[in-house]
Amino acid sequence: MIRSRAGTDLDPTVWPAFDAAALPARWRSTFLARRQAVELYVANVAVTQIEQRTGVDRRQLYRLLDHCAAPHEDGRVFGWRGLVPYARVDDYVRTARVQLSRDGTGSGAAGAFGLLLQAHPILAAWIVERVRDKRIALDQISTDLGLRTRLRGLKHVHTDFLLQCRKLGLTAADYPVDPAKPLQPA
């Protein structure tokens, strides 16, 4: 019998294959313990026994099961890939209101740009259009130290981006920017 989790059947036989030998040694043992815990869970072994045999805590087991059942960008479930240490199955989503630090270092603003683009899809489309029009270019430069890259056009696109924000009526309260260049109407 196959157990279910969050309304999804957990059937490891249909999950994409994963080669644990490809992992660094320090992660491999963690992955293998997690894999054994999932296999035992699917085999209807009691959760307390799974904890004792694998060392995987029940809360972590349930989180890992959700990771395994999560959809991957390739259209399949994460499966065994969801057990890899430090693997992310979801994009970061900011939930807190953006507040800049008083010292101006920009700390505390993680995810603020994504939140801005989510709230104003027209800005996201504008950026995609600029990239498609090759207004921003990434050049590879060969030097004595090896291959380096240089980003061209970003300064002009950033200035135009701030103008787009002003046209939408956005202020520095809507998106943290350099205080020297606030989003106040020019």
pTM for this prediction: 0.57
Task: Extract the runs of DSSP E, i.e. beta strands, from the chain.
Answer: 4-5, 8-9, 137-143, 146-152
Given a contact cutoff of 8 angstroms between Cβ atoms, the answer to whether 109 and 100 are in contact is yes
175/162 Cα distance (integer angstroms): 10
Any idea which of 124-133, 149-158, 165-174 has the lowest mean pLDDT?
Answer: 165-174
Phi/psi of residue 150, nearest 5 degrees: -140, 135
Element (H, E) at 131: helix 121-132
Average pLDDT value for residue range 140-169: 86
pLDDT top residue among 92 and 119: 119
pLDDT band at 185 (very low <50, low <70, confident <90, very high): very low
